[in-house]
């Protein structure tokens, strides 16, 4: 149940048979200088951020269950999550879906002359099928993910990108994933 | 697994998050006109099937100060790719690890992993540690830091039609 990075970053990592105790689940003060992030977060906030990215309870009162594990009140858990969300530190409490199996996607890249980068990025963004588009430090400097209902549409979009930009696309579809998503590693 | 209409409505109802209320599953159940227990049972099934990878707090890592992001790409012999892929995937700071095709001569790398950190230095140190720990000194690699995001929207699962269904339900 523990996030995979925890062993490296927490001094004490105890999950007893029954429930959790926050003092056991947080870094010792001595490590805080290494682990601290440029934000003021309470112990409860750090704990919720780090320990509850998965395994959200499937029971009638899940927030009360978390509260019981952490020895705080349900109201505190709810208020803290609402505050984290309102401050933009979490996007939601909810599911993370596996990549859509019914569809098709690829990672693509372009080698764009520096002075054209913004214009080319805007052309790429113009495709509804593009859901990520990043500049990276490399000769292949614009990287984007194309997602579509099928391979044919992927090839079509890449062809249209080549025509619209006059640049050759590097097409790197996923062949195999080695990673199991256990959440985002914080304080590692 | 095969999704039925209720599953699709359930996915549409929760994909933007569970209600922050004492009984979030009961709130969803009321929207869909099914029982709370049915919501809980279907969510368990969706997780067991792997369609839902995990449920919990979804953090915004940039807002939390994790600004540095590198795609590290490796040119791994085919015979070693599964072993090395799994080693990388198990590393603390690695958040994705994929095999993709080489495109010679333009692109010699076939293993991709993503590393996030609070600073460029810490990401580079993480890569050095990985190389040392697993003896990857002879494996050609390249580090592509991201410098600007032009677009980022999460892959959504339910289509607009499904969401309309949930709203009606």
pLDDT in tens, B20-62: 999 999 999 999 999 999 999 999 999 999 889 899 999 888 8
- Which residues constitute the domain of residue B54? 5-58
Residues B83 and B124 in one domain: yes
Same domain assignment for residues B72 and B54: no
Q: Is residue B165 in some structural domain?
A: no
- What's the pLDDT score for residue A8? 33
Interface of B with A in 119-138 (CB under 8 A): none
Give the closest-approach CA distance of A68 to chain B in angstroms: 13
In the three-class reduction of DSSP (H, G, I as helix; E, B as strand; rest coil), residue B97 is classed as strand
Cα-based distances in Å from B87 to A160, A165, B72, B76, B131: 38, 38, 14, 13, 11
Q: For residue B36, give how far its alpha carbon lies from the nearest alpha carbon of chain A (Å).
A: 8
End of a domain among B58, B81, B97? B58
Question: SS3 string of chain A?
Answer: CCCCCHHHHCCCCCCCCCCCCHHHHCCCHHHHHHHCCCCCCCHHHHHHHHHCCCCCCCCCCHHHHHHHHHCCCHHHHHHHHHHHHHCCCEEEEEEEECCCCCCEEEEEEECCCHHHHHHHHHHHHCCCCEEEEEEECCCCCEEEEEEECCHHHHHHHHHHHHHHHCCCCEEECCCEECCCCCCCCCCC
Closest CA to A43 of A5, A2, A71, A3: A71
Q: Is residue B34 part of a domain?
A: yes
* Both structure tokens of A26: 């947080």
| Among the partner residues B95, B113, B145, nearest to A185 by beta-carbon distance | B95
CA distances from A82 to A51, A90, B5, B54 (A): 17, 9, 31, 20
Query: ipTM of this predicted complex?
Result: 0.74
Are residues B132 and B77 both part of a single domain?
yes
Going by their DSSP bridges, the two strands B141-152 and A170-172 should be labelled as: unpaired
Per residue in A116-131, pLDDT tens?
A: 999 999 999 999 999 8
Helices (H) and strands (E) in chain B, counts: 6, 5
Six-digit token string for B115 = 């590393």
Q: Is the same domain home to B54 and B72?
A: no
Within-domain flag for B156:
no
Tell me where in chain A the CATH 3.30.70.3460 domain(s) lie.
104-172
**Percent helix, strand and coil across chain B, each to the nearest 5:** 40, 25, 35
Cα–Cα distances (Å) from B105 to A38, A170, B102, B108, in that order, read: 43, 11, 9, 7
pTM, entire model: 0.70
Q: Is the dihedral of CA A95, A98, A100, A102 positive or negative?
A: negative
Asked whether residue B160 is domain-assigned, the answer is no
Contacts of A130 (CB under 8 A, 6+ apart): A124, A144, A145, A146, A157, B151
pLDDT digits (tens, 9 = 90+) for B114-158: 998 888 999 999 999 999 999 999 999 999 999 988 987 755 555
Residue B125 lies in a domain: yes
B92 and B52 fall within a common domain: no
Question: Do B89 and B141 reside in the same domain of the chain?
Answer: yes
CATH no. for residue B138?
A: 3.30.70.3460
Picking from B111, B109, B122, B108, the residue whose alpha carbon sits closest to that of residue B69 is B122
> Could you tell me if residue B154 is inside a domain?
no
Q: Do B46 and B75 lie in a common domain?
A: no
- Lowest model confidence (mean pLDDT) among A17-21, A51-55, B139-143: A17-21
Residue showing tokens 């805007």: A122
- pLDDT tens for A29-50 read 332 333 445 568 999 999 999 8
B135 shares its domain with B74: yes
Residues of A in contact with B155 (CB under 8 A): 97, 99-100, 131, 147
B25 and B85 assigned to the same domain: no
Whether residues B72 and B13 share a domain: the answer is no
Q: What is the CATH number of the domain that holds B24?
A: 1.10.10.2890
How far from A178 is each of A32, B85, B98, CA to CA, in Å? 32, 6, 6
Q: Two tokens at B91? A: 């590393």
Least confident of A97-101, B33-37, B38-42, B98-102: A97-101
Of the partner residues B50, B92, B116, the one whose CB lies closest to the CB of residue A4 = B92
Token pair, residue A53, equals: 């990215």
Residues from chain A contacting residue B18 (CB–CB below 8 Å): 56, 62, 92-94
Do the domain assignments include residue B152?
no
Q: Kindly state whether residue B87 falls inside one of the protein's structural domains.
A: yes
Which of A164, A160, A158 has its CA nearest to residue A146? A158
Tell me: do B86 and B38 sit in the same domain: no
Q: Which residue of A has its CA nearest to B66?
A: A186
pLDDT (0 to 100) of residue B85:
96
Question: A63 and A77 in contact (C-beta within 8 Å)?
Answer: yes
- Specify the residue for token string 């569809």: A103
What is the number of structural domains in chain B? 2
Length of chain A in residues, anyone?
A: 188
CATH fold, domain A104-172, is Alpha-Beta Plaits (3.30.70)
């Amino acid at each position: 149940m523990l996030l995979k990075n925890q062993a490296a970053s927490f001094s004490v990592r105890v999950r007893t048979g029954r429930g959790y105790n926050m003092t056991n689940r947080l870094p010792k003060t001595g490590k805080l200088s290494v682990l601290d992030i440029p934000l003021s977060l309470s112990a409860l906030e750090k704990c919720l951020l780090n320990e509850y990215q998965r395994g959200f309870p499937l029971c009638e009162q899940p927030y009360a269950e978390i509260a019981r594990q952490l020895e705080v009140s349900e109201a505190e858990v709810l208020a803290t999550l609402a505050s984290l969300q309102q401050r933009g530190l979490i996007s939601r409490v909810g599911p993370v879906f596996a990549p859509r199996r019914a569809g098709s996607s690829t990672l693509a890249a372009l080698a764009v002359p520096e002075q054209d980068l913004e214009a080319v990025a805007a052309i790429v963004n113009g495709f509804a099928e593009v859901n990520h588009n990043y500049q990276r430090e490399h000769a292949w400097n614009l990287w984007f993910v194309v997602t579509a209902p099928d391979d044919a549409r992927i090839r079509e979009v890449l062809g249209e990108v080549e025509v619209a930009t006059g640049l050759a696309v590097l097409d790197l579809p996923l062949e195999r994933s080695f990673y199991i998503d256990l959440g985002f590693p914080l304080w590692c | 697994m095969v999704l039925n209409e209720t599953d699709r409505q359930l996915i549409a109802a929760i994909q933007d998050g569970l209600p922050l209320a004492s009984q979030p599953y009961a709130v969803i159940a009321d929207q869909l006109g099914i029982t709370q227990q049915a919501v809980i049972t279907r969510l368990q099934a969706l997780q067991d099937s792997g369609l839902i990878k995990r449920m919990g707090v979804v953090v915004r890592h940039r807002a939390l100060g994790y600004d540095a992001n590198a795609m590290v790409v490796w040119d791994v012999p085919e015979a070693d790719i599964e072993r090395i892929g799994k080693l990388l995937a198990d590393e603390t700071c690695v958040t994705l690890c994929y095999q993709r095709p080489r495109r010679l001569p333009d692109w010699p790398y076939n293993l991709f992993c993503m590393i996030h950190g609070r600073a460029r230095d810490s990401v580079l140190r993480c890569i050095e540690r990985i190389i040392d720990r697993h003896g990857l000194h002879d494996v050609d690699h390249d580090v592509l830091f991201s410098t600007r995001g032009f677009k980022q929207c999460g892959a959504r699962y339910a289509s607009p039609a499904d969401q309309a269904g949930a709203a009606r339900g």
